């Protein structure tokens, strides 16, 4: 569970963001890799199964990871959960923002069309 694992995940899963992080100041790279790795894990949750309930469970797992880290509880054993918990503790990131990121992905679980432009913007 390290930033290197997060960097490798971002390099494989989102090469454009990996390149963007490599262009960022060295001091910011570790944090960015952790956040982008978290984003990748959350973004793929609805797409790794055809069962909505399983996808919902995966997303809830990530919500729990964030909530537990914010409460100061030990990190779960996962290559992204550990560095994310450390980042939340060290940087004092707003937990609400990460929770909203997970919540937004619930829309992908059911793969429904947006009703209008406002619904798309809200997503």
Ordered mean pLDDT values, 10 residues apiece, the chain (123 residues): 92 98 97 97 93 95 94 92 94 90 89 80 75
Q: What pTM does this model have?
A: 0.89
**What is the structure's pLDDT at 19?**
98
Q: Which domain holds residue 17?
A: 3-122
**What is the structure's pLDDT at 1?**
60
- Give the closest residue to 87 by CA, choosing from 29, 17, 23: 29
DSSP state at residue 45 = G
Handedness of CA 91, 33, 74, 104 (dihedral sign): positive
* Length in residues, the chain: 123
Q: How far apart are alpha carbons 111 and 81 in whole angstroms?
A: 26
User: Residues near 109 by Cβ (< 8 Å), separated by ≥ 6?
Assistant: 46, 52, 55, 56, 59
**What is the structure's pLDDT at 114?**
78
**What is the structure's pLDDT at 117?**
85
13-30 exposure pattern, b = at least 16 Cβ within 10 A, e = fewer: bbeebbeebeeeeeeeeb
Domains contained in the chain, number: 1
In terms of DSSP H, where are the helices of 1-123? 3-13, 15-23, 26-44, 52-70, 81-91, 95-104, 106-110, 117-122
Task: Please state whether 111 falls in left (phi above 0), alpha (psi between -120 and 50) or beta.
Answer: left
**What is the structure's pLDDT at 80?**
96
């Amino acid at each position: 569970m390290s930033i290197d694992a997060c960097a490798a995940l971002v390099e494989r899963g989102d090469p454009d963001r990996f390149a963007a992080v490599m262009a960022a100041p060295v001091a910011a790279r570790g944090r960015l890799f952790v956040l982008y790795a978290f984003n990748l894990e959350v973004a793929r949750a609805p797409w790794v199964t055809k069962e909505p309930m399983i996808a919902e469970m995966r997303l809830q797992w990530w919500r729990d990871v964030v909530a537990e880290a914010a409460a100061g509880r030990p990190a779960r054993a996962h290559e992204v959960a550990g560095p994310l918990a450390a980042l939340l503790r060290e940087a004092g990131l707003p937990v609400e923002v990460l929770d909203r990121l997970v919540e937004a992905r619930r829309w992908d679980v059911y793969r429904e069309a947006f009703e209008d432009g406002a619904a798309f913007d809200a997503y």
